[in-house]
Amino acid sequence: MDSKTLVVNALTKVVPEEITSEQLTNLIEKPKSSDLGDFAFPTFILAKSLHKAPNMIAEELVAQIDQSGFEKVVNTGVYVNFFLDKASFADNILHTILSKQADYGDQDEGKGGNVPIDMSSPNIAKPMSMGHLRSTVIGNSIAKIITKLGYKPIKINHLGDWGTQFGKLIVGYKTWGSKEDVEKDPINNLLKYYVRFHSEAETKPELDDEARAWFKRMEDGDEEALSLWKWFRELSLSEFQKVYDRLGVTFDSYNGEAFYNDKMDDVIKTIQDKGLLEESRGAEIVDLSDLDLSPALIRKTDGATLYITRDLAAAIYRKNTYNFVQSLYVVGSEQAEHFKKLKAVLKMMGYDWSDDIHHIEFGLITANGKKLSTRKGNVILLQNVLNDAVDLAKKQIEEKNPNLKDKDEVAEAVGVGAVVFHDLKNERRDNFDFNLEEVVRFEGETGPYVQYTNARALSILRKAGKNDFADAKDLALADSEAWDTIKMLQEFPEIVSRAGAKYEPSVIAKYSLKLAKSFNQYYAHSKILTEDSGLNARLALVKSVSIVLQMSLALLGVKAPEEM
C-alpha cells in the first residue's frame, strides 16, 4: 500500500460517511515544509456539515485516528498532519531503487506506440545557432522521457534543404566565392555569400531575379544547379554532425524539405478532390475563416508550393510510414498559427489523427533584446558558445582539481552540460535573452551543480569500497536529516510522467536541482562514512541518489562525469 492510501484509510474511518475516499484523496495535500508532516488534511469542507470550527474538527479527528502505522498524527490549526514511519518508508524505497537501478521510474503508458518528433531542423548552408539548440535539446530530452514512459520516439531532423534561399546561395557562390574557400570553411563562407547577397540585393534587385532563376533550375532538375545543391547539403550535414556529436544527439531520419518534393502533388489532388481548394487573389488556398484563421496557402500565384503544403505532405507521410500514436513538432512558438492551420486542414481532409499532432512550442532567444537574424548576419554560433563553456570548465578544473585524469573529457561534459541544462531548466515557452555569463555559469542552479553532487556521491562510494546494496537487509534509515531526500527519491516516477504529459524537460531539470540540493544539505551535515549500524543504509541512500541523479541528467541529455 502506498503511503497516501494509508492516510486516506485512516481518515475514512473518522470522517462523516458522505465523504468518499476518492474525495479524501483529492483533498489531501503535501505540506510545504517537513515540520508539518508528510501529508495534511484541511478540515474546511467539514465545517459546514458539522457546524463546528475547522480547528476544533482537526483536534477531534486527531483524537479519533488510529495512529499505528504512523510516526505520529497531530493537528496544527485547521490541519491534520500525518508523519509517516520513516524507517519502513526508507527501507521500502531504497530497496526499490537499488533493485531496479536504471529502470526505476519506467512506465508503460505508451505501450510501444510510435511518436515521430520533428526536431532540430537547421537550414542547410547556415550555421547552427542558439535557436536550433533549443529545438534539438528539447526534442532529444522529450524523446528520452517518453521512452521511459513506454513510447517509441522517432527523431526526425526535418532539414531546411530546399527553397529559394538556395538560388541566392548559388548566385552568391558564383559571384563572390570559390571552391577552395568553401572547402576550407564551408558553413562560414556559405553564410558570408548569403549575407552579402542580402546586403547587395537591396541596391541591385536584379540579383533576386537571378536567384529565382537558379532555384527554378533546381526545381526543373538542372544538373549544375542540383549538383551544387547536393554539395552544399553534404558539407553542411557533416558540419552539423560535429555539433550533434558534442550534444550526444542522434536521429532516426534526415528527411528534410527536399524529401517531400515529389509528394505534394498527391496532397494537393486530395485537397482538390475533397472540394477544399479555392482560388483567391490568383493563389490556391483552403479557406479557414470558420475557424478564425487566415487561409492556408497551398499554391502561390506562380504555381509554386509553400511551407504548409510540404508540411501536409510530411504529416501524411509520417502517418502512413509510422502509424504514430502522437506526432510532435518541436518548433518555436512564433509558428503556433501555422500548426493550427496544419491541423485544421488535415481535419477537413478527414484525417481524425490530426488530433494526435502536437506543436511543442518554445520561446524565442534574443541577443541584447533583438531577434536573431541569419540574413543580417547577427547570429550566436552554437559551436562558439560550446567552446567558450568548455574552456571555462577546463579553467575551473585546473584551479580546483588539477590532478584529475581525463581533464579534457570532463571539461567537455561539464561545459556542454552547462549549456544544455541552462536551456532546459526553464519552462520551454519562456523567451530568454542570451547572456554568455549566465549560460556558462557553474554555480548555483546549474547543470554542473547536479553533476558535481553526483560526482561527490560516487566519490563516497569509492571510498567506502562498496557499490552493491541491493541485497542489503536493513535499509531502515530513520535519520530525519535524510528524510527530505528520501521522500524526493520516491517522487521520481511521478516526476517523469508529469514531464512526459506536459512535454516539459524543465520538470526533470528542476527536480534534479531539488534532489541535488537536498542531498548536499544532508551530506554537509551528516557524516556518512562512520562505522556504525547505520552505515549500510546511509551508503544505500548515497547510491540511490546517484542512480536517480544520473538518470535525471541522462533524460536531459547531459553527461554525468564520475569525477570532476
Partner RNA sequence: GUCACAGUGGCUCAGUUGGAUAGAGCAACGGUCUUCUAAACCGUAGGUCGUGAGUUCGAAUCUCACCUGUGACACCA
d(CA 306, CA 123): 16
d(CA 152, CA 156): 13
Interface residue with RNA, options 151, 240, 449, 469 (CB under 7 A): 449
Interface residue with RNA, options 36, 288, 349, 381 (CB under 7 A): 36
Interface residue with RNA, options 9, 23, 55, 76 (CB under 7 A): 76
Supply the minimum distance, in Å, between the C-beta of residue 495 and RNA.
Answer: 9
Supply the minimum distance, in Å, between the C-beta of residue 207 and RNA.
Answer: 15
Q: Which residues contact 175 (CB under 8 A, 6 or more apart)?
A: 193
Interface residue with RNA, options 282, 350, 402, 465 (CB under 7 A): 282
Region near RNA per CB under 7 A, out of 37-45, 91-99, 140-148, 259-267: 37-45
Is residue 452 a contact residue for RNA (CB under 7 A)? Answer: yes
The three cell numbers locating residue 518: 537536498
d(CA 42, CA 38): 13
Residue reference for cell 523567451: 431
Footprint of RNA on 111-140 (CB under 7 A): none
Angle at which helices 535-556 and 483-502 cross, to 10°: 20
Q: Residue 381's CB: how many other CB atoms inside 10 A?
A: 16
Footprint of RNA on 235-264 (CB under 7 A): 257
Q: Say if CB 195 and CB 376 are below 8 A apart.
A: yes
Q: Say if CB 158 and CB 133 are below 8 A apart.
A: no
Interface residue with RNA, options 3, 24, 37, 197 (CB under 7 A): 37
Is residue 460 a contact residue for RNA (CB under 7 A)? Answer: yes
Region near RNA per CB under 7 A, out of 26-34, 105-113, 178-186, 316-324: 26-34
d(CA 11, CA 61): 8
Q: How many residues bind RNA (CB under 7 A)?
A: 92
Interface residue with RNA, options 255, 326, 374, 396 (CB under 7 A): 396
x/- track of binding to RNA for residues 342-381 (CB under 7 A)? ----------------------x------x----------
Is residue 72 a contact residue for RNA (CB under 7 A)? Answer: no
Is residue 224 a contact residue for RNA (CB under 7 A)? Answer: no
Interface residue with RNA, options 231, 254, 307, 434 (CB under 7 A): 307
| β-strands 296-299, 283-286 pairing | antiparallel
Which amino acid, one-letter code, is at 106?
Answer: D
- Residues β-bridged to residue 328: 117, 358
Is residue 49 a contact residue for RNA (CB under 7 A)? Answer: no
Give Cα 156 distance to the centre of its chain: 15
Q: Which residues contact 94 (CB under 8 A, 6 or more apart)?
A: 469, 475, 477, 486, 489, 537, 540, 541, 544
Is residue 448 a contact residue for RNA (CB under 7 A)? Answer: yes
Is residue 79 a contact residue for RNA (CB under 7 A)? Answer: yes
The three cell numbers locating residue 515: 534532489
Supply the minimum distance, in Å, between the C-beta of residue 253 and RNA.
Answer: 16
Is residue 63 a contact residue for RNA (CB under 7 A)? Answer: no
Is residue 1 a contact residue for RNA (CB under 7 A)? Answer: no
Angle at which helices 407-425 and 130-148 cross, to 10°: 90
Interface residue with RNA, options 14, 276, 306, 349 (CB under 7 A): 306
x/- track of binding to RNA for residues 404-423 (CB under 7 A)? ------x---x---------
Interface residue with RNA, options 266, 401, 473, 481 (CB under 7 A): 401
End-to-end CA distance of the chain: 41
Is residue 520 a contact residue for RNA (CB under 7 A)? Answer: yes
Q: Which residues contact 487 (CB under 8 A, 6 or more apart)?
A: 38, 89
Supply the minimum distance, in Å, between the C-beta of residue 399 and RNA.
Answer: 7
Residue 435 phi/psi, 5-degree rounding, is -145, 110
Is residue 510 a contact residue for RNA (CB under 7 A)? Answer: yes
Q: Return the beta strands (E) in 94-186 as ranges.
A: 114-119, 152-157
Is residue 31 a contact residue for RNA (CB under 7 A)? Answer: yes
Is residue 337 a contact residue for RNA (CB under 7 A)? Answer: yes
d(CA 126, CA 232): 10
Q: Which residues contact 168 (CB under 8 A, 6 or more apart)?
A: 194, 197, 198, 201, 207, 211
Interface residue with RNA, options 240, 362, 483, 523 (CB under 7 A): 523
Is residue 23 a contact residue for RNA (CB under 7 A)? Answer: no
x/- track of binding to RNA for residues 162-201 (CB under 7 A)? -xxx------------------------------------
Supply the minimum distance, in Å, between the C-beta of residue 211 and RNA.
Answer: 11
d(CA 491, CA 501): 16
Interface residue with RNA, options 419, 489, 528, 560 (CB under 7 A): 528
Supply the minimum distance, in Å, between the C-beta of residue 459 and RNA.
Answer: 4
Residue reference for cell 488510529: 66
Return the CA Rg of the chain.
29
Region near RNA per CB under 7 A, out of 108-116, 236-244, 245-253, 438-446: 438-446
Residue 427 half-sphere exposure, CB side, CA atoms within 13 Å?
Answer: 5
| Closer residue to RNA, CB minimum distance, 297 or 549 | 297
Is residue 222 a contact residue for RNA (CB under 7 A)? Answer: no
| Closer residue to RNA, CB minimum distance, 233 or 517 | 517
